[in-house]
Structure 1
Amino acid sequence: MPAVTMGLAEAKNNFSKVTAEVNRTGRPVTVLKNNRPWVVIQPAAGAAQTDAVDVAVDFMDEYADVFRELAK
């Protein structure tokens, strides 16, 4: 599997997408500055991958007030 690298400007302009992809795949991304490795974005150590149930529960918690209003 090839290493994932990108320039600093690209990482900055797409930070949310980059971090979401890193979190989804678990593959770190090396950010280059002046064509040299600068930083590595990787999933947090010890953070477990969330499963579909965790995502659903978080979503329901976040939007509980909306669901209550819709239920009226």
Structure 2
Amino acid sequence: MTALSRRARRLVTANLTIAATVITMLIAWDLFGHLPLPLGVAGHEGSTVIVGLNGLRLLSSRAWRRAGTGTGAGS
């Protein structure tokens, strides 16, 4: 596996964790308290923006330069 693919895999795992955590917190808040709909929408959309921006880090040239210096069987 190349360094870039390892980075991408870690990033996907982190993004799934972030999204699942935020959604779980919003569901718990709604079940054990009263979550206003606008706040629930803002929380969900906010987590979506965070996940999207986090994923965009793979497009930076720095990520590609780091991947190019990786060593391993595929390099």
TM-score interval (norm. to shorter): under 0.3
Normalised to the residue count of structure 1, the TM-score between the two structures is 0.24
Highest RCO, 1 vs 2 (Cα 8 Å, sep ≥ 6): 2
Normalised to the residue count of structure 2, the TM-score between the two structures is 0.24
Q: Which structure has more helix as a fraction of its residues? A: 2
